[in-house]
Amino acid sequence: MIPFKDRMADSQRMQRAIQMKWILMTYAKRFIHLPHHSSMEIRKVGIIGAGTMGASIAELFAYNGFDVVMKDQNMDLARSGYSRIQKILSDMKRINDERPEKEISRIEGYGLKLTEEQKEKIRTANRSNVDVDIILKRVKITDQYSDLSGCDLIIEAAFENQEVKNGIFSDISDLSEKAIVASNTSSLSITEMAGHLKRPEQALILHFFNPPYLLPLVEVVPSVYTSDEVRDLAFSLISHMKNHRENMVPVLVKEREGFIVNRLLIPLINSASELLDAGIASAKDIDIAMKKGAGFPMGPLELADMIGIDVVVDVMEVLEKAFGEMYKPSVILRRMREAKQLGRKTKIGFYKY
C-alpha cells in the first residue's frame, strides 16, 4: 500500500498541476488568433438570446476570462438573462466553497486522520476559483445589435426557428466581416443561415449542451461554406476552455439534422413519453429504470424537463421532416407544449418544480 504521506504529496502535486494548467489555459486562450486577421484575438464574445442557453453560454465565456455582451429582444429579457448568470455563479460558488470540506471528509472516510496542517493544505489546493464579482463585471447586456460591433465571436442562441435565425443573421450580416458567427441551433440549417451573412465562410454551429457550465461537450458543425481556418479556430477555442466541472470537449460533426447527440437522444425522450402515455410505468419509474438499468446519469423525462418540452418537440419535428415518420413527436409531448407545460422553465412538465 502507498504510504499516506506519499498519497497526500501526489494529490497535492496533482492539484498544483491542475491549477497551473488552468492558469496556462486561461492565458493561452487570450492569444488565439483569428484567421484572415492575424492582429486579432478572440477577446470579446457576443451572445444573441439571453434565455436558458444564451445566459449560460455567456456565463461560460465570462468564467473563461472573455468580455461578453449579451443581447435579447428588450432590456427586461436581457436583465432576466443576467439574473440567470448571477444564479449560476452563486450556485457554482456554493458548490466550490463546499468542495474542500467534502474532500477532507472523503479522505477521512477511508479511516485516515488528517492533521490541521494537512487540512489547511487541502483547503488551499481546493480554493474556489469562482469570483462572482470579477466574472459578472465581464458581462454587459443590451437590446441593440450595434453593441456587438466589437465582438470577435458572436453566438446566436435565440428561438429554434429557421426564419428567426435567418433574420438574426441578416441583421448581423456586416459583423461577419470581423467576427466568427456561430449558431447554437440544435437542428436547423447553418448553411441557410450563413447565406444571410456578408461572409458565409465565417459561420458554423457551436452546439453547447444544457447546462454548459457542467456539460463539457460542444458539437462543432461547419456549413458547406465554412472555411477550414474558422472550423479549426472554433475547435481549438473550445478545447482551451473549461466549465465549472472539467475541460470543454469539442467533436466535429457533419451537417445533418440532430448531429450526434440529439439524433440519438431526442427520439429516446419521445419513446419514454409514449411509454408514460400508454401507462406502462410512471415518469419516476421510467427515469429510475434508465438510470439504474442503463447507467444514465439522468432519466429521459427529467432530461426533457431540463431541455424544455418545446425544444424537444421542435427538434423532433425537424428530425421527422428530415428522416420520416419514425421521428414523429408523441401526442403527449405536443399536448404538453400546447398547455405550456414546458418543464423546469415553466415549473411544470413531467414533474412539478
Ligand X SMILES: NC(=O)c1ccc[n+]([C@@H]2O[C@H](COP(=O)([O-])OP(=O)(O)OC[C@H]3O[C@@H](n4cnc5c(N)ncnc54)[C@H](O)[C@@H]3O)[C@@H](O)[C@H]2O)c1
Which residues sit at the interface with ligand X, rule CB under 6 A? 48-54, 71-73, 77, 157-160, 164, 168, 184-186, 208-210, 307-308, 311
Note if 186 is an active site residue: yes
Q: What is the DSSP letter of 126?
A: T
| 336: its cell numbers | 404538453
Question: Shortest approach of ligand X to residue 49 CB, angstroms?
Answer: 3
Q: Are 68 and 61 in contact (CB under 8 A)?
A: yes
First to last CA, the chain: 47
Is residue 219 part of the annotated active site? The answer reads yes
Q: Helix crossing, 331-338 with 261-277: angle to 10°? A: 90
Q: Which is nearer to ligand X, 52 or 227 (CB)?
A: 52
Cβ distance to ligand X smaller for residue 54 or 200: 54
Catalytic residue among 56, 176, 186, 270: 186
Omega before 35 within 30 of 0, i.e. cis? no
Name the residue among 314, 286, 301, 290 with its Cα closest to residue 344: 301
Measured from the CB atom, the residue of 21 and 245 that comes closer to ligand X is 245
Show the cell assigned to 102.
467534502
Q: How far is the CB of 84 from ligand X (least distance, A)?
A: 9
**Min. distance of Cβ 178 from ligand X in angstroms?**
19
Nearest-approach distance from CB 30 to ligand X, in angstroms = 27
Residue with smaller CB distance to ligand X, 184 or 273: 184
CA dist., res. 353 & res. 302, Å (int): 11
CB of 129 to ligand X, least distance (A): 25
- Give the type of residue at 268: L
Contact 181, 169 (CB under 8 A): yes
Q: At what angle do helices 261-277 and 300-307 cross, to 10 degrees?
A: 110
CB of residue 306 vs ligand X: minimum separation in angstroms?
7
How far is 113 from 119, CA to CA, in rounded Å? Answer: 10
**Residue closer to ligand X, measured from CB, 88 or 107:** 88
CB distance 200 to 180 below 8 Å: no
Tell me which of 262, 270, 273, 330 is the catalytic residue.
262
Complex with ligand X: residue 227 or 305, whichever CB lies closer: 305
196 is catalytic: no
C-alpha–C-alpha distance, residues 243 and 63, integer Å: 8
Report the alpha-carbon distance of residue 272 to residue 266 in Å, rounded: 10
Q: Which residue is nearest to ligand X (CB)?
A: 51
Q: Which is nearer to ligand X, 89 or 168 (CB)?
A: 168
Question: CA 93: distance to chain centroid?
Answer: 18
Tell me which H or E stretch contains 285.
helix 283-294
Shortest separation between residue 313's beta carbon and ligand X, angstroms: 11
Q: Checking DSSP bridges between strand 37-41 and strand 180-183, what pairing results, if any?
A: unpaired
* Residue for grid cell 483547503: 123
What positions carry a catalytic annotation? 186, 207, 219, 262
